[in-house]
Amino acid sequence: MHTNSMELNGKTLSMETGRLAKQASGAVLLRYGDTMALVTATVSDEAREGVDFFPMTVDYEERLYAVGRIPGGFIKREGRPTERAILGCRLTDRSLRPLFPKGFRNSVHIVTTVLSMDQDCPPETLSIIGASAALSISKIPFNGPIGAVVVGLIDGKPVVNPDQEQAQKSDLHLMLAGTKDAVMMVEAGAQEISKEDVLSCIEAGHDVIKDIVSQQEKMVLEVGVEKMEVKIDELPEELVREVEPYARKEVANALGIADKQEREDKLSAIKKDIIEQYIEKFPEEEKTIGKVYEDVLKDSMRKKIITEGIRADGRNPQEIRPITCEISSLPRTHGSAIFTRGQTQVLNICTLSALRDMQMLDGLGLEESKRFIHHYNFPPYSVGETGFMRGPGRREIGHGALAEKALEPVVPSEDEFPYTIRLVSEVLESNGSTSMASVCSGSLAMMDTGIPLKAPVAGIAMGLIKEEDQVVVLSDIQGLEDFLGDMDFKIAGTEKGITAIQMDIKIQGLSREILEEALQHADEGYKYILNIMNQTIEKPRAELSPHAPRMIRMQIDIDKIRDVIGPGGRMINKIIAETGAGIDIEPDGRIFIAAVDPEGGKKAQEMIAALVQDVEPGKVYKGTVKRVERYGAFVEVLPGKEGLLHISHLDHVRVNKTEDVVNLGDEIEVKVLDIDDKGRINLSRKALLEKPEGFVERNERSDRNDRGGPRNRNR
């Protein structure tokens, strides 16, 4: 067993190997604070046949025993990964993937298992560090190590790996991964901060990453093994010499076509033609001919940008495609918008509901629910393809979470706007950066709904072409530039500042200078898009959609909650049935009434107000007879509150039978005589009646007799 440790923000980060999971190619047990994760890396002995990509899989396994909980439901074991787990595996994958040898086709499997969870020490960074360490000490070829940290921004100063208390005060949550020389991955949510603050936090985090990498390098020297040989098939020189010149000429002509579908159709025809033309001379080399074509396409697209400054659709590097915005596109939804940028188009629908419809979370985090939800759907037809639609995959969940992160800082708080908010982005066309189009359409849809956003939000995706020392940053990348380029750098924000960042690269790291240039162009780009959006709708509508529920908020004493609910929920169910309103009662006495019909909401409010109203001695109420007994009647003076109207208080004259005066269902006025120490209410009807002429109360007659009246004389 070998252990390596270092101090990081007042806590010990330790990496242990040689004790657990020894049959994996590499295995490292990490501990930071009380968070522990086992990360393993395994590789296949042979390359996978017939694939033209690196077949790496990352699994991020959450175990609820890590936080001392048993899974809910009938089965009582973990099932499908949570959204946080999926995002965790994506963070690890995106950090590692650029650092494997080009052309490596052996299957690699990374598994992170969270064993113990300390809320002050999130395990996502341990997954990245552990995967890097496991790969570095194993036989798997890997151009690491890398490190990872979380960076916050508190009072304008970067804080590396903030604890929960510090995170609550932070204006930034930035996940950063990198080698000792450059940044590999950035993922951030922010409260409208400046690009200068983003850069300072990246620099602060990278300084710590260098120390984490150094610790892994020590581990490699002590326990690392020899790397396996990487078998990369070289293309036959004769075939390349024959095919490349012809392919380059044809591809160059096709790259001048601006329309995506027309260009792809032309390129597909060129590829087919090249294969047919050379397959006779090079039999059984169809895949190799296709690979030459792919290499020519990538090289031609990149050189055209580097040397001529012209992109495949004819734009210059910083030019943004034409944009159109529409709102109120769907008549019966609460809010909707269509955002179109070039050949990328997203329809976004906003729905409001009561707080009871917020999403319940069952994972390792402290959060148990969330009231702002964004879902993202990417159907095959959006790229002109057929396919299966079996629910969201990792891509859909990742893109949806990024847009949600970008929009959440401008959503009003629960106190300001007590609704559950759900956005759904339907990708109708895709040619680059549908996630940022989802941010734009989501902002428009919420303003169309009438949600009082703090500010509108827009997003843009930046790209990069890097050939040795020549670097070109691209604004508003399309699909081809994402696929064949070196970077996908997404940034969203308001006029005031940045709300979300996501950066993925395909090269081995980015320098500060490139990041700074990309941030500058991104800042200009998303603000340009914001100006176009503002021409359609500049601020939220003054009124909610007529189809959206109106929310009425009440505050009652917590001791009155039981009166509103009633025995077995009888009272609240009665209110819901009579008014059609949705009612949520919080433990602190807050009540939220949601009703599309304003009259129904008002009636529910009045009924609840009556339920929590106190009965006052001496006050007159109009009540309903609920029960008739031989000794009197029970009258409901307020909803759920009954008092006894004794038979002696029905009338001034003697009443022989209760039914002679009142019957079940009668509405009568009564006066509250008193409320005893057990809360029982005593009522009187006769107190409100005039005495008959000459009538003397029984107690008055008794008093007269005691004073020597006629009765005493007779005696």
Q: pLDDT for 122-161, tens place per residue?
A: 999 999 999 999 999 999 999 989 999 999 999 999 999 9
Burial of 364 (0-12, 13-18, 19+ CB in 10 A): buried
Q: What pLDDT score does 711 carry?
A: 43
Q: What pLDDT score does 258 carry?
A: 81
Q: Check pLDDT > 90 for residue 217.
A: yes
Cis peptide before 331 (omega within 30 of 0): no
- CA pair distance 343, 264, nearest whole angstrom: 13
Q: Which CATH superfamily is domain 323-534 in?
A: GHMP Kinase, N-terminal domain (3.30.230.70)
- CA pair distance 509, 75, nearest whole angstrom: 44
The reply to whether domains 2-223 and 323-534 share a CATH topology is yes
Residue 97 token pair = 């993937």
Cis peptide before 587 (omega within 30 of 0): no
What residue type is assigned to position 42 of the chain? T
Q: Each residue of 36-62: pLDDT tens digit?
A: 999 999 999 999 987 888 999 999 999
Lowest mean pLDDT among 374-378, 463-467, 640-644: 640-644
DSSP for 364-417? SSS--EESEEEEEE--GGGGT------S--HHHHHHHHHHHHHHGGGSPPTTTS
Whole-prediction pTM:
0.85
Q: How much is the average pLDDT of 411-433? A: 94
Kindly report the CA angle at 192 between 188 and 193, in degrees rounded to 5?
A: 75
Q: What pLDDT score does 579 carry?
A: 92
Domain ranges of the chain: 2-223, 237-308, 323-534, 550-612, 620-702
Beta-bridged to residue 461, according to DSSP, are 490
Q: Give the side-chain half-sphere CA count within 13 A for 669.
A: 7
**CATH no., domain 620-702:** 2.40.50.140
Q: What pLDDT score does 710 carry?
A: 43
What integer best gives the mean pLDDT of the chain? 91
For residue 714, name the pLDDT band (cuts at 50, 70, 90). Answer: very low
**CATH no., domain 2-223:** 3.30.230.70
- CA pair distance 596, 580, nearest whole angstrom: 9
Q: Each residue of 445-460: pLDDT tens digit?
A: 999 999 999 999 999 9
- CA pair distance 530, 320, nearest whole angstrom: 12
Residue 137: how many CB atoms within 10 A of its CB? 27
CATH architecture of 237-308: Orthogonal Bundle (1.10)
List strand residue ranges (DSSP E) for 264-379, in order: 323-327, 335-341, 344-353, 359-360, 369-370, 372-377
Q: Each residue of 71-108: pLDDT tens digit?
A: 877 888 888 899 999 999 999 999 999 999 988 999 99
For residue 638, name the pLDDT band (cuts at 50, 70, 90). Answer: confident
Phi, psi of 125 (to 5 degrees): -70, -35
Q: Each residue of 640-682: pLDDT tens digit?
A: 789 999 999 999 888 999 999 999 999 999 999 999 888 899 9
Q: What pLDDT score does 369 carry?
A: 85
- Number of helices (H) and strands (E) in the chain: give both, helices first: 16, 29
Q: Each residue of 263-299: pLDDT tens digit?
A: 888 999 999 999 988 888 888 888 888 888 999 999 9
Q: How much is the average pLDDT of 584-603? A: 90
- Fold held by 550-612: Ribosomal Protein S8; Chain: A, domain 1 (3.30.1370)
- CA pair distance 57, 106, nearest whole angstrom: 11
For residue 699, name the pLDDT band (cuts at 50, 70, 90). Answer: low
- CA pair distance 99, 142, nearest whole angstrom: 6
Q: What pLDDT score does 703 carry?
A: 41
Residue 380 token pair = 């095959």
**What percent of the chain has pLDDT above 70?**
97
Q: Each residue of 300-345: pLDDT tens digit?
A: 999 999 999 999 888 999 999 999 999 999 999 999 999 999 999 9
